[in-house]
Structure 1
Amino acid sequence: MEGYTFSQFIEDLESGNEFKFEFNNREYRIYWRSDGVCFTQDGQVIYYKIEKKPIAGVKIEGCTLEEIINQQRWESVVIYDGVDPDWIGRYTFTDFVEDLEIGHEFQFNFHDKEYHISWVDDGVLFTYEGDSTQYETVKELIAHVKINSNTLKEVINNKKWTNVNMF
């Protein structure tokens, strides 16, 4: 990443790109969530809301992110043009609920069966094999949906869902 500057990093981040890199033998990821930039260190997640604490103020082992990037001290840098293909591996049930509540819809598989969660005028629609059940709220959907005796929370947190698409 020779010649790549912190200013370029901010531009790339603001345009929706995501990052994975190593620094002092630890893995870091920086990516967008609905409420700001998410920063992870070896899988531990810390949220930084852009309007409250700029990513420039983030320190890693005593160094600012700006110093690490400008001094080319990061290694194994991967910039994803858009979303990191491994996003589902770090996606949690909390993320799912937040995304549903802001209007996202989902299509996914569980044990080779396809499921859809979509928004309709009067609430949230859960569809499986052509049969749909409508719920008034996300909370009601979560409370009632079971997939092969698994709650949505179990399916998502245990990474049991596959071919996940979020719209």
Structure 2
Amino acid sequence: MKSFFTLLLFVSISTLTFSQENRYGVRGGLNVSNLDFTPDPTFTNDHRNGFAFGGFVDYGVSDSFSILVELQYSAEGGKADELKADYIQMPIMFRFALTDKLTFGAGPMASLKTWKNNDGFSTFAFSGIGGLEYMITDELFIDARYSYGITNILDKDLTTVEAKNSNIQFGFGIKI
């Protein structure tokens, strides 16, 4: 019985892997980000313009559904030097094709901090992400994404203030 389930699992994974098209690619983007504080800060909290770049795999599950897994660097946080928050991020987006050229996606995103001077920040952050992608050609696309922090990015042992990332990202990329 155990070998039957192993064989069934192998056949299922093989069928999913080979039945649909997987696409790989690279993507870059411009960020408009800020930190939302609770309680409201007593200082000026201006948004930060930054950038993002990375690579992705878009696993085709069916003609209208795919799962996009990406690894990207993203410059986020606030404008002041002590509020800058740069990350290595892994968004996982569950994507639905609305038309042949337009796709909607949403899912979770895990982030790992990359800066060393801000010791008051936590190492990991989790966010929710959603966005739209428009295919210009079969390979080139543009997209827009919005992510909002679920977890506090400040070290809870050092402060009672909470801060969450919010980020709008305008991107472009190529699928191969």
User: Structure 2-normalised TM-score?
Assistant: 0.22
Q: Which has the higher strand share?
A: 2
User: Structure 1-normalised TM-score?
Assistant: 0.23
Q: Which has the higher helix share?
A: 1
